[in-house]
Amino acid sequence: MEQFIQIESHVMITVNSLHAGYGKLEILHDISLTFAEKQFTTVLGPNGSGKSTLMKSILGITTIHSGTIQFDGRELVGIRTEQISKLGIAYVPQRENVFTDLTVRENLHLGVRVLSRDERAVAIEEVHDLFPILGKREGQKAGQLSGGERQMVAMAIAWLTRPKIMLLDEPSAGLAPVIASEVFTVLQTLREQGMTLVVVEQNARRILQYCDYAFVLREGQLAFQGTAAECLNDEDTIKGYLGVR
């Protein structure tokens, strides 16, 4: 797979000297990194390294002790989460990411509610092309779906909002390997269509086969950054931070 050098792309999100956490507890310590437009970037690291906290900081749901977070040049620190979402940032959390009492069809229509009727029909058709299983499950309640199918619904809802960037937290967590592969394949397709993706993931070796660029966190600090190929070939990173060899 072709790899992209991040610094040559337009920077969509810039995190600079970020110290953040929950209340007085600081989880992230002096984090500086960028997420480039139209790239598939993964954030890796052991449990407790601050991966999810980084995503939540971008969304405005942590305590920012110091530092800045900019999206397309606009400062996000101090802006409410709902306002950040309206700027074009979609977030797919690991859990509680669908409305279980609603059908698949009803969940999907939440993502297209701001579109015209004609635009909705086209968007839903595109979703069924991207996620064929959802067309077969559209009358079922989301709570009756498998874990992988729920993840597909959550990703589809986020995609339907036509975001500029999608943040996903552990999309393969708890999924069988074959289903996780389907999720990664969909993410790669989205990137090929021009979507900017930032994905927190535990399955390091697998996602590095699909993404363009990787950041590795350790104990709330940036331990490595580089292309997916560089990450896979860096023995110290693999052995010390990813635990996949």
Does residue 6 surpass a pLDDT of 60? no
In the chain, CATH 3.40.50.300 covers: 1-88+164-171+195-245
Q: What is the pLDDT of residue 243?
A: 54
> Long-range contacts of range 113-122, CB-CB < 8 Å, 24 or more positions apart?
114/161
pTM for the model stands at 0.88
Tens digit of pLDDT for each residue in 25-50? Answer: 999 999 999 999 999 999 999 889 99
| Other Cβ atoms closer than 10 A to 214 | 27
C-alpha to C-alpha distance for 66 and 236, rounded to whole angstroms: 30
Paired tokens of 191: 């990137």
Q: How far apart are CA 81 and CA 74, in angstroms?
A: 14
Instruction: Determine the pLDDT at residue 1.
Output: 37
What string of DSSP letters covers 192-219? HTT-EEEEE-S-HHHHTTT-SEEEEEET
Domain 1-88+164-171+195-245 matching CATH 3.90.1170.50: the answer reads no
What pLDDT sits at residue 240?
65
Q: Do residues 44 and 51 lie in contact, with contact meaning Cβ atoms separated by under 8 Å?
A: yes
| Per-residue pLDDT, 238 | 65
The pLDDT, as a whole number, for residue 146 is 87
DSSP β-ladder status, 63-71 and 74-75: antiparallel
